[in-house]
Structure 1
């Protein structure tokens, strides 16, 4: 009797890959994360940037994982990274496992911050459009704390870390999103078209500064943004002035800084009239060519899978559409 009982218990014991004692034989998480990021991005440099570590740290972790497994996982093809047969076999399951871990931990974080909505947005949208309107949403949701996080990366962030994220996409970018790790089950919806037009201070147009056509921009300094590096080129092409040489160029990190420089009379910036209503109504800015709007993108709200049934984030996304 005792012998039979012992056999039954042994048969039910969970045996991991490392043996029959139930322990999972797993390499350290940092090794797995480094290989998964480098394999997914096919770049040690991009993986290091995503993980906020050095390139040498990523390379060291990958080599340590290869040593741990006893097999080569990556190879160099010129300046690019390539996966070996073993690496290609390991990557998909590892990506799914890390996605699941991220979703699980994000769900626990959500439980510990009841009454809080965490929103991620770019600094330009936050400063020019969202913050001036945010009091209206807060008035509809008394007792709710809103945390606004601004980040530089257009795509280099994890949607599961936030209740709602806001980004600007072209149709081609939307089609590519499901291929990104952590973005497969993200729901999204458009709420503002990203249409741009030149804006400047009224004083800039006085005297010889008047602009009757886009060619008149040649007498002025153009204000650029590193976050939208080809915006002026595209606008000029659509306006029939390709290759126009301005009197000068000033470059800023973010689009909202270039607009602030336009208010100060430093030159002509590109701005979205939907973002600049107060500055336009208050006479701080004017639109020399109000009929000329350029752009094929839209701003979208994004909700991760863990927030699919969250009424608070749903209410915020609905509010974005009418704010």
Structure 2
């Protein structure tokens, strides 16, 4: 009789029960496919004898596939060809279907960055190279990495606790609940928190992946008392009355309170009724000038602000100006209701 050979494969060869796998038997003789021959599939589980579970004929390519339900693992299978008058019988090597290990969910908080106004770039909060001052708004950004074996969704909790043990939990503004593949990560940025107390503050961060708490970080940093700076006086002047849409100048001077000396090259922010008009630098005499135009009639409060610097304290001043309607506009406002009443 002619020799035969039988192979058996499984796809998938592992999984989490219950699941289905496809067994593929391939029957050949001297490398030539044997079509339309019956092959049998035998199975056993630990402690249970081999049992024939299914059978069927190969196709023209010598292949027969079987879909098998896997309820327990490990399961062993082999295929058998019983032979006939022309071909010898044969069996395949035994294959084992195993249980697939569940995906590894793991990760860590890599670094916590912070930024406060005046810093050139974000810095590591744990290293804390630039101390914050009372009144500073601190921005936090937490970088996490996926050390597991599957894609996960990361959620970061950030909390600051003041020296008075008051917790502050800022909202995430970017990067929260973002998926990451194994070996990658994401950055979660948070809304700023005002550091309103001097002393030791505590940072606590917790990383949750797919709803499971995975990692946390806790450390402290010191907030210093803000330097008072040299007191300053800022003045503001403008016409008492202007017309609607008329361009006029707002001007004033910034000086030191202790000596009365003008302070040059300082930024002054000017606004009216809370609407920004822009910012301008003081000149060598501490004087600033900015043009303005207000379209609608009314009484407006003009305001000039000088923000503090490491050397100088903040100051501000206000002035009122009236945008008066023209005689024609006033007449139209008076006549309008009368005309409407006649219609």
Answer yes or no: same fold by TM over 0.5.
no
Identify the structure with the greater helix proportion. 1
> Relative contact order, CA 8 A, sep 6+: which one is greater?
1
Q: Structure 1 length as normaliser, TM-score?
A: 0.23
Computing the radius of gyration from Cα coordinates, the structure with the larger value is 2
Identify the structure with the greater strand proportion. 2
Q: Structure 2 length as normaliser, TM-score?
A: 0.22
